[in-house]
Amino acid sequence: MLPPHRVVLAAFPGAELLNVTGPAEVFSIATRVAGTGRRGYTVRIATAGGEPVVTAGGIRLMADLALDEVDGDVDTLLVSGAVRVDDHGVEPVLDAGFIDWLREAAPGAHRLGSVCSGAHLLAAAGLLDGLSATTHWRTAARLAADHPLVTVDPDPIFIREGRLWTCAGIASGMDMALAMVTEDHGPELALATARTMVMYVKRAGGQSQFSVPLALPADPGDRIDGLRMWIGEHLTEDLSAETLAARLHLSVRHFSRLFHRRTGTTPAAYVESVRLEAARRLLQDSGHGLPEVAALSGLGSVESLHRSFRRRLGTTPAQYRRRFH
């Protein structure tokens, strides 16, 4: 019989407890649900020196091994980061030694992922360059600003790019772990695991983690913020960069620079995100056909609707409606 999948959860001081224990519980319960005849999981928690770490809530989390004891034979390596919260906002904690370890350990992992602000550690190690990634909505703009080679999408609860997985963190870490169980064992075992855990629904990665306009803190005196609110109310109008820049009486180049500095994304990408969110709501909450959804959301045509869903969510509008309606 094949040996169990080896899962290593790299824990960082200050991490949210559920970022570590949530995925661990999914893999543990999946093993029990699978029974003795199928390949399950062994889960180990690794910390810098093998010592306990204190999580954000003050609970001490015991470790099974030190980071330098993690050899190359790992099926799934998940990294959970930590954040600092002060009067200036939220910022990820970056540890140079941890990042150096990641660069060395990553090639030996069959599947590599981050939970919450762990995406900042993967990005700092250069592991997300050229890929799409997500993280908790509170630090998504920072991730985009610090790592321009990473395409940051603050909307989905998790994103998969080949062997690289990133998720929004906290509860969404369990959704990502369930998707990994699906990849390893099929949807029946993943659904049985979700039922055992009494999870409300096994969410696909395309489910939104937060409303796009609300993903950034509001600043009533900021012209870009005012424009973002206006965009949400005029989705069916011309929202090209030229039109938006003219509305603020700015050149397109200066406007695009200011917009990216404020939001961490381009005007075009932001407009598509807001229109896609509107399309999702229509698919979830209304009975409109796809042509009406495309028109009302501002995406225009059914072809554009399909392209946007495929590119950003990896699914079709019809599949999304069947799952979330």
Radius of gyration of the chain (CA): 21
pLDDT in tens, 145-162: 999 999 998 878 899 999
Distance separating alpha carbons of residues 49 and 70, to the nearest angstrom? 11
Residue that has been written with the tokens 């250069």 in this structure = 126
Q: Residue type for 138, please? A: R
Q: Where do the domains of the chain lie, and which CATH numbers do they carry?
A: 5-196 (3.40.50.880), 214-324 (1.10.10.60)
Backbone φ and ψ for 116, nearest 5 degrees, come out as 60, -130
Q: Residue type for 119, please? A: A
Alpha helices in the chain (DSSP H): 17-34, 96-105, 118-124, 140-146, 172-185, 187-196, 223-233, 241-247, 252-263, 267-285, 290-297, 302-313, 317-324
CA–CA distances in Å: residue 314 to residues 116, 131, 164? 21, 14, 15
pLDDT in tens, 203-262: 555 555 545 554 555 555 678 988 988 998 899 999 999 999 999 999 999 999 999 988
Distance separating alpha carbons of residues 182 and 226, to the nearest angstrom? 42
- Predicted pLDDT of residue 14: 92
